Structure 1
Amino acid sequence: MHPENSSRVPEFILLGFSDTRELALLFFTLFFLAYAMVLLGNFLIIVAVWTDPKLSSPMYFLLCNLSFIDICYTSVTTPRVLVAQLSGIKAIAFEGCMAQLFFLHFVGSSEMFLLTVMAFDRYTAICRPLHYTAIMARGVCWTLVAACWAGGFIHSTVQTLLVLQLPFCGPNTIHSYFCDVPPVIRLACANTALTEWLMASNSGLISLGCFLVLVASYTLILAKVRARVSQGNWKALSTCASHMMAVTLLFIPCIFTYLRPAGTLPTSKYVCVIYTIFSPMMNPLIYTLRNKLGWSLPTQTASVRAAVTSPNPAGIEIQ
């Protein structure tokens, strides 16, 4: 059934976005600017959180980890895209492709788990303020973040092993700008129906499950603050809506991409741009611009402290 290792393709060809030099330079410029914004925005959040003692609340600890994950997530694919667009070199070694696939799912699934933890943090602050400091203690936060990374590692290991057990003897052209499970397994020289369903149930159900938990948490938060809208909590509702938009930018394309067998529908490379580039670029804006004066982050810390000492959780601004 499986061909000898010597017959395995030594490399894959990533088609990217365009074969013309003019369009390649245009895409290089767009990706470079987006990547620079991702690095700058998320790096500033990390520096602000680690250097300002006022930003020691669990929310900012989790936000700092989200920024680090966004930097890692975009760095898995974007530098390789920039090199390819500028040099025209589209080949990637088989081992390099598998490494990119592994780290893409490792960091991507860790981000999904972390966003779910952040939603739980906001739910606790709004709906159970008197127990907030006990539930979201520092040690608990570190444990939750470690669990997110561990869950991402397990998920990615399973995905990568499922791909590695497939024979690849040609063709070797990937209709995308990075190595991912759906386009890669289409090139396998074997019946991949069972593998496709296993991967869909793994990646797809993780994406869908985390998204449903996030929707449920935001629904409970909105129900909690809705009665207080007339008392000045429009900002809380609008901020919650903006956060839900950020979650949607990541989860909906992932659900579309992974919650189905790889061969049923083609995966658009432009859909992949949404969750590999656009979502990490927007997260710093969405998670910080709702604060007063753009970077007045300590405002939220004071709000959380007020929630812990007050029985009126609807007065908290959701950031």
Structure 2
Amino acid sequence: MTATTVSLEALEGGSVPFSILEEAFGPSSLGILIVRDLPTRFAGLRKRLLSYASYLAQLPSEQLDALTNAAAHYETGWSHGVEKLKEGQYDTMKGSFYVDCQSFYLAKPTIHQSGQSLTRGSGQNLWPSEDAIPGFRETFEELCTLLIDIGALVARAIDLYAIQKIPEYEMGYLERVVRNSHTPKARLLHYFPPAGGSTLTSDSDEDSWCATHLDDGCLTALTSAMFVDETDALPPLPDDASQPALKILPQSPDPKAGLYIRSRGGTVVQVNIPEESIAFQTGEALQAITGSSLQAVAHSVRGPNSTGAKVARNTLALFMQPDLDEVIDKAAGLTYGEFVDMIVEKHS
């Protein structure tokens, strides 16, 4: 079982066959679509931002503390060791840097003013200084803007499919969410090298780097992962925001390491996203909105077995979500903001 692939040109032309969308998101699918033939600037943006993730994770503790926002439930800036995923254990295997994308994507970003949502979707971000990581903010914002624009095309194709297949589906719903929502959130991830250069994983342990979970939004964009050999000290960052001279590996030293998806039929499948492509997968909000016709994708990340090197994994996920006051479960009257509060309480 492999992930379904489509060209950006087909999405732009509105010519993606329903059979392709059924293969990607239907009842027997993996719930993921890979988009190829991206603009040429994508490759450089991806490589640069994912390289920055290694430098971010190794900033001095006082700088990381300044980038940490507990009042925002760690949903902006740096986050490490505060999330519970597997068997109630705090996740220390990866660090995350969250960015609220509405601040640079929407012409009129909105600051929410009610209840717990005060710090969510606020448009207010924390950024490392230019001295610390030159070009970080500019690269981050440019890459995320590109991902959202392409995500809107994927959403349009899903809308055309859903209006034919799902009773009472609102035409244009998903594209509206992607283009106009005030809650898009990007997460730059750095999976730390396992202690001692290895993890003691078994063949069945596909979630040793990140526990199996569902995304809570509508649509998630994923870049392919970058594997970095961090055995030696990182080389100095260039002053001009050009590509750092990291020891980037062409692939994981352990072919079993990486992203795993649990298919609609319950089969666990390793999914390799090509370096020059973007993947899009569905989340829990879209599952609720469509009455489970489009289901959220259960996924995990498996760490590498012993290689003798300290190998880190860097990637970027961008969550395209409804506005906080939008009702996603009409029967229960549940808004997306209320749903997110439930998720945060569960994992904090």
Same fold (TM over 0.5): no
Q: TM-score range by the shorter chain?
A: under 0.3
More helix by share: 1
TM-score when scaled to structure 2? 0.21
Q: As a proportion of its length, which structure holds more strand? A: 2
